[in-house]
Amino acid sequence: MADDFDPDDLSRRMDGALASLKAEFGGLRTGRAHAGLLEPVTVEAYGQQTPLNQVGTINVPEPRMLSVQVWDKSMVGAVERAIRNSNLGVNPVVDGQTVRIPIPALNEERRRDLVKVAGTYAEQARVAVRNVRRDGMETLKRLEKAGEISEDDHSLYSEEVQSMTDSTIEAIDAALKTKQEEIMQV
């Protein structure tokens, strides 16, 4: 196999798109509190954007409550603003150095909106996988033109890349279906 074409690298990149999607799904709330809900939130701390879990401890004291114990007292306001502006549909309450985030029950309209957001995340992941596929196919074409691989090898590797793409997109669709069911569950 030619040095430029690495199916393991393509597979790793496709798996990365799937892992990224699952992380984004973790940030979509389903009516129950979980610490992953606050993972995508970043806080303006000391002149730069910092993940929330690096400025405080995230806890789940109750099924419908999150709390963030902020380590630096001067950061409490910034943490509250970051959570409020994160588009999670929550309303944080400051209590000393703790920011409490009650998780309201989702209404039907909000559930539908979250399903649409989940669909958007899934489509972005599919596009990322297709871009990885395109890169692999372009590399194969270039190697065949340069005479580094034969037409038969090109065909064989193309099928392998397409197979990886199909299986990853199936995994994305399965993850989306699971997340949609979780969101719509009352």
pLDDT mean values, one per 10 residues, the chain (186 residues): 75 93 78 77 88 90 89 91 83 91 82 88 95 94 91 92 95 93 81
DSSP class of residue 28? S
Closest among 13, 3, 2, 1 to 132, alpha carbons compared: 13
Mark which of 82, 102, 122 sits at the end of a domain.
Answer: 102
- The per-residue pLDDT for 1 is 46
Q: What angle do CA 34, 186, 175 make, to 5 degrees?
A: 60
Helix ranges restricted to H, 76-150: 76-84, 108-145
Tell me, yes or no, whether 125 lies in a domain. Answer: yes
- The per-residue pLDDT for 186 is 65
Residue-number span of the structural domain to which 37 is assigned? 32-102
- The per-residue pLDDT for 31 is 66
The HSE-up count of residue 133 (CA atoms within 13 Å, CB side) is: 18
- The per-residue pLDDT for 184 is 83
Contact yes or no for 32/63 (Cβ under 8 A): yes
Verify that 112 and 98 share a domain, yes or no: no
**What tens digit of pLDDT does each residue of 46-71 get?**
889 999 889 999 998 888 899 999 99
Tell me, yes or no, whether 84 lies in a domain. Answer: yes
Spatial CB neighbours of 134, under 8 Å, sequence gap ≥ 6:
none
- The per-residue pLDDT for 125 is 95
- The per-residue pLDDT for 89 is 74
Contact yes or no for 75/43 (Cβ under 8 A): yes
- The per-residue pLDDT for 29 is 65
Verify that 120 and 142 share a domain, yes or no: yes
Q: Are strands 65-70 and 93-95 parallel, antiparallel or unpaired?
A: unpaired
Which CATH number belongs to the domain containing residue 14 in this structure? 1.10.132.20
